[in-house]
Chains A and B, each alone.
Chain A
């Protein structure tokens, strides 16, 4: 299959350095302390944040900070390929647990957890539709939900993926590009203000000389996502200010 046409267009009509269309909306759930819906192309994630609250398990308390918990859930209707359900699935799919752990580790340095001692911050992520870039969409959704919940953070966390098709670095891969055997891809999460990297994940082989290009492209993508997220948060906050003060 041809992932990049001779004219430089990708399989879904984007250029190499273009993001998919992003729609995001904070405060979509009533019961959660904070929530957000995030769409990146055809990947759709719903995030809910509860907390800081009394930890549900006593053993999971830290006396000097809040404990962060991440639960990641893939809706059975999220992808068109029917996955074989293993009989061990009730113990949790290992791949899903791994994603949840990496998201938790991404947020741990950013959330100022010491201001909430002996409490718990629970992040629930639900993948509703899967078209590649699940981890980045989940991280972006979780960031919006955490901000919506009013949880203290030192900065936003913005995530984006980038890869290489033939000789061209490409931004924000979709499912077809991601699952192609010869396309290397990496996911990166950064704090946009300090440009510090919080997560860098790559499970394929990439020529070392191409790494720098790919990282720069992913970082640029994170910057674009940050602008979109900041606008959504600002609009939502202003909207709430108007509602509460009139």
Chain B
């Protein structure tokens, strides 16, 4: 079996994995043979037929040691343990909530994987089970961490930290998950007085700033569904940051703290509602890109 696709990559092992240079990337389409199984293992996005590793999706070939994967560029979010995700409760079930996290199936948040109001540590009783809707109900937005995977690929979440829990005072922006990269922190307090939570699943929460002390002072309030009073100025700040993220997404700029900050600075000369128009959003994206390259 000929190995035309990997021949170009054999020599330089440094280019394996994340490849920033588009000239070196190998693109495959479904049904395209990649290599023989004699020397390689099949990973995601591939299958084996007649001892040949064949691509199952259109995407970029990535090689990590002997493992070959093909990464589709627009595929849905697939969770990894430790990811911070933002999701919406879709269903309240027996001792668990179902959460939409933009994945292949709804994630599961167990009653035993949440903190009780007031931070009391105890086993969850039957009365807690009856009160589940007072913690999270259908339509609520939550930020959580991926705890583990079930055998069928479903995701288990937990919110056992004051960082995680119910979201309020803000707005949700949905973007392609490929534009959010895993980093040390996904919680950012921007200097303009807006908090941003970058969910790895492509859901981004932009909200009014709340400092940790206020949360710790009122632990009963973590399950409150009532918004605080938001002044028109704060409201506009939130809208501006949200529109900046939308503008960057349109032009495939990766979303992280720095890119949002640069976009915010660039946006100040325009009215908020114009940020999502095609010419202004491309101006902003260009400016951000220039600054990021410096």
Write the residues of chain B forming the contact surface with A, with a CB cutoff of 8 angstroms.
Answer: 19-22, 25, 27, 29-31, 45, 47, 49, 54, 56-60, 72-76, 90, 98, 100, 104-106, 152-154, 178-179, 252, 289
Give 1 or 0 for each of A140-155: 1 = CB within 8 Å of chain B CB: 0000000111111111
Q: Is A117 in contact with B153, judged by CB distance below 8 angstroms? A: yes
Would you give the shortest CB distance from B43 to chain A, in whole angstroms? 12
Q: Which residues of B contact A233 (CB under 8 A)?
A: 29, 58
Find chain A residues with CB under 8 A from B75 CB.
149-151
Contacts of A241 in B (CB 8 A): 22, 25, 27, 60, 73
Contact B72 A150 (CB under 8 A): yes
Q: A156–B30 contact, CB under 8 A?
A: yes
For the complex formed, measure the closest distance between the CB of A28 and the CB atoms of chain B, giving whole angstroms: 13
Number of CB contacts from chain A to chain B under 8 A: 108
Q: Could you jot down 27 A-B contacts, CB within 8 Å?
A: A33-B74, A33-B76, A34-B74, A52-B104, A53-B104, A54-B100, A116-B104, A118-B105, A118-B153, A119-B105, A147-B58, A148-B74, A150-B57, A150-B58, A150-B73, A151-B57, A152-B45, A154-B31, A154-B49, A191-B31, A234-B29, A236-B58, A237-B59, A241-B22, A243-B252, A245-B22, A245-B25
Contacts of B72 in A (CB 8 A): 150
Residues of B within 8 Å of A117, CB to CB, are 152-153
Q: How far is the CB of A236 from chain B (nearest CB, A)?
A: 8
* A230 interfacial by beta-carbon distance below 8 Å: yes
Complex contact A237–B73 (CB within 8 A): yes
Specify which chain A residues have a CB less than 8 angstroms from the CB of B21 in the assembled complex.
245
Q: Which of A42-91 contact B (CB under 8 A)?
A: 51-54, 63
Query: Which size bracket describes the interface of A in this complex?
Result: 35 or more
* B29 and A53 form a contact (CB under 8 A): no
Contacting residues of chain A (202-239) with chain B, CB-CB under 8 angstroms: 230, 233-234, 236-238
**Most B CB atoms within 10 A — which of A34, A116, A230, A237?**
A237
Q: Which residues of B contact A150 (CB under 8 A)?
A: 57-59, 72-76
Say whether, besides A154-B54, A156-B30, A244 and B178 are in contact (CB < 8 Å). yes
A193 in the interface (beta carbon within 8 A) = yes
In the assembled complex, how far is the CB of residue B25 from the closest CB belonging to chain A, in whole angstroms? 6
- Given A154-B56, A241-B27, 5 additional A-B pairs, CB 8 A: A54-B98, A150-B73, A234-B58, A240-B74, A245-B19
Least CB distance, A145 to chain B, in whole angstroms = 11
A244 near B153: Cβ-Cβ < 8 Å: no
A52 to B289 alpha-carbon distance, docked (Å)? 33
Contacts of B153 in A (CB 8 A): 116-118
User: Within the assembled complex, what's the spacing in Å between the Cα atoms of A151 and B73?
Assistant: 11
Complex CA gap A152/B59 in Å reads 11
Rank and list the top 4 A-B pairs by shortest CB-CB distance, nearest first: A150-B72, A150-B75, A155-B31, A152-B56
Report if A153-B22 is in contact (Cβ < 8 Å); known contacts: A148-B74, A244-B252. Answer: no
- The answer to whether B29 touches A237 (Cβ under 8 A) is yes
Q: In the bound complex, do residue B105 and residue A244 qualify as a contact, i.e. CB atoms below 8 Å apart? A: no
CB distance from B153 to the nearest CB of A (A): 6
Q: Report the bound CA distance from A152 to B22 in whole Å.
A: 23
Bound-state Cα–Cα, A149 to B104, Å: 12
Among B19, B25, B29, the one with the most A-chain Cβ atoms within 10 Å of its Cβ is: B29
Closest to B152 in A: A117
Q: Given A119-B104, A150-B73, A241-B27, A112–B60 Cβ distance below 8 Å? A: no
Any chain B CB within 8 A of the CB of A95?
no
Instruction: Closest A residue to B174 by CB, please name it.
Output: A31
A97-127 vs B, CB cutoff 8 Å, 1 = contact: the mask equals: 0000000000000001000111100000000
Q: Flag if A244 contacts B73 (CB, 8 Å).
A: yes
- A109 to chain B minimum Cβ distance, whole angstroms, is 13
A191 to B32 alpha-carbon distance, docked (Å): 12
Chain B residues contacting A134 (CB-CB under 8 Å) are none
- Which of A119, A148, A236, A238 has the most chain B CB within a 10 Å cutoff? A119
Q: What is the chain A residue whose CB lies nearest that of B27?
A: A237
Least CB distance from B278 to A in Å reads: 13
Q: Give chain A residues whose Cβ lies under 8 Å from the Cβ of B59.
A: 150, 237
A237 and B47 within 8 A (CB): no
> How far does the Cβ of B256 sit from chain A's closest Cβ, in whole Å?
14
- A156 contacts B22, CB within 8 Å? no
